[in-house]
Structure 1
Amino acid sequence: MIKPSEILYFWFQENSQEQWFGKTSEFDEEIRRRYLEITYKARRGDLEHWSQSPDSTLALIILIDQFSRNLFRNSPMSWSADPYCLEITKQALTMHYDDFLNNYQRAFMYLPLMHSESLEDQDRCVELVKKTLDNGIDFNKDNYNAAVRHRYIIARFGRFPHRNEVLGRNSTPEEIEFLKEPNSSF
């Protein structure tokens, strides 16, 4: 059985920002080969016991939030477990698990808030990510800018227009124009 520490080692030691936020079939395939089965278990709630500590909760969030995006890219399944992951994240924040994580790890604990189509969640994400800016690491600045950008889109449209086609949602004329702009999707 794969342990939470293996997920964290793979994500934070074996890989970097280039893989985390890049969109390559090679990285997606590596995740599929190594972690497809356990990602399904996490999405079904079979690993809920992992939410008992900061590190294992972070591993659970990475499985559900990040690996789902790699495994099910351009499919509704990319986002179908987001509500469950958001619930785990909010519970972790209530327990102050993020206080026990470094800023790179915190970024991934906060991502389910950034991926939410709720303005309240977006506001909370921006607030939390802003607190990581004091150490001067460029990654934190980039993450803060991403949080602000996500929040702007939700404040403007109430949803992420780049998901519309995959989710079978009709786009408004304003959303169609927005999607023509650079950096309109993630």
Structure 2
Amino acid sequence: MSEIESVLDFWFGACGADGALDPAKKRMWFGDGHKYDAEIRRQFGALRERAARGEVEHAWTATPRGRLALIVVLDQFSRHIHRGTAAAYEQDAEAQQLVVNGLGQHVDHELIPAQRAFFYMPLEHAEDLELQRLGVRCFDGLARAVAPDWRKDYESFLDYARRHEGIIERFGRFPHRNAALCRAPTPEEIEFLEQPGSSF
């Protein structure tokens, strides 16, 4: 199995073309993600470092699946491998550019719904309001397009995108990253971080 397919198989498992999500992968994405940090570091840590150095971009971005795999490595695996540190966010700008460039080529429409959701995810992670708004539009279109049986899951993706957008509208950044990035919080951010769900 190629590295691209290894990444996609690990991250998406049995997600279906109709929008069905693999329950085990859904738990990994949204429930017990920290439990997978060591496994992702072991399996993909060296690949993530190569990707961060730009060593795979040219080859991987030649296909929609390759571009998606690179986005997953830079955006998702970085957060597992370097959880709680500045390095978790170091590749965000690169991942966001891969998304924007891919959208210009309509790459996302070559992917199944779950893959499209994670193709758009770097936009949700952006500390940039225009990218946030683009992400909300993408997630909204995805939720409308997916099969009715699975629409609730994709409306949840859209809800999270809107919540992220709201934080950037309010603060211009994600306050929960302040400690990792050595940023001094404002009094309003300190108050916000005391609220449940403020850190995703």
Question: With structure 1 as the length reference, what TM-score do the two structures score?
Answer: 0.95
Contact 2:75 2:92 in 1 (8 A): yes
Contact 2:127 2:168 in 1 (8 A): yes
Q: Distance in 2 between matches of 1:165 and 1:26?
A: 22
1:2 to partner: Cα distance: 4.7
User: What one-letter code is carried by the residue in structure 2 that aligns with 1:118?
Assistant: D
Q: 2:158 aligns with which of 136, 140, 144?
A: 144
Contact 2:129 2:172 in 1 (8 A): yes
Per the alignment, residue 177 of structure 1 pairs with: 191
What is the correspondence of 1:24-173 to structure 2 with a 5 Å cutoff?
Answer: 24-48=33-57, 49-134=59-144, 135=146, 136=148, 137=150, 138-173=152-187
What are the superposed Cα offsets for residues 115-159 of structure 1, whole Å, 9 maximum, x if unpaired?
Answer: 000000000000010011223322201100000000000000000
Contact 2:175 2:189 in 1 (8 A): yes
Q: Distance in 2 between matches of 1:120 and 1:94?
A: 16
Find the residue that maps to 2:178 and give its secondary structure: helix
Q: Percent identity of the aligned residues?
A: 40
1:91 to partner: Cα distance: 1.0
Comparing 70-79 with 21-30, greater Cα deviation is found at 21-30
Q: Distance in 2 between matches of 1:8 and 1:180?
A: 36
Per the alignment, residue 21 of structure 2 pairs with: none
Residue 23 to residue 76, structure 1, CA distance change in 2 (3 Å): farther
Q: Distance in 2 between matches of 1:169 and 1:55?
A: 36
Per the alignment, residue 10 of structure 2 pairs with: 10
Give structure 2 stretches of 5+ with no counterpart: 15-23
Q: Distance in 2 between matches of 1:142 and 1:83?
A: 24
- C-alpha RMSD of matched pairs (Å): 1.4
Q: Distance in 1 between matches of 2:77 and 2:30?
A: 12
User: What one-letter code is carried by the residue in structure 2 that aligns with 1:121?
Assistant: L
Name the structure, 1 or 2, with higher relative contact order (CA <8 Å, separation 6+): 2
Q: Distance in 1 between matches of 2:51 and 2:91?
A: 9
Contact 2:27 2:33 in 1 (8 A): no
